[in-house]
Amino acid sequence: MWTLQDAKNRFSAVVDAALAGQPQEVTRRGKPAVVVLSAAEYARMRDAAAENRGSFISHLLNFPGEPDAPRNTVTPRDVNF
């Protein structure tokens, strides 16, 4: 794990390690901030996520619950203007 200042000072080493297949974590103010990884690894992860992701319509259709569940009927109250 690198601090932000160390990662800036030794950016070539961060990139070389990421290209060697070792994602590099960088912290800012002691908290995890970013991960540097190779472009090939990023593309692999992006493609894997796209394969597992369905369409928005399929997401809605797979929503838990009964599709024909009765809806509550709410009647508005009377308002005097």
Which residues, listed in sequence order, are joined to residue 34 by a DSSP beta bridge?
26
* Mean pLDDT on 52-58: 81
pLDDT confidence tier of residue 40, bands split at 50, 70 and 90: very high
Identify the pLDDT of residue 67: 64
| DSSP assignments along 2-55, one per residue | EEHHHHHHTHHHHHHHHHTT--EEEEETTEEEEEE--HHHHHHHHHHHHHH---
Identify the pLDDT of residue 39: 97
7 and 26 Cβ atoms separated by less than 8 Å: yes
Q: Which CATH superfamily is 1-38 part of?
A: YefM-like domain (3.40.1620.10)
* Mean pLDDT on 30-58: 90
User: Where is mean pLDDT largest: 32-36, 54-58, 60-64, 65-69?
Assistant: 32-36
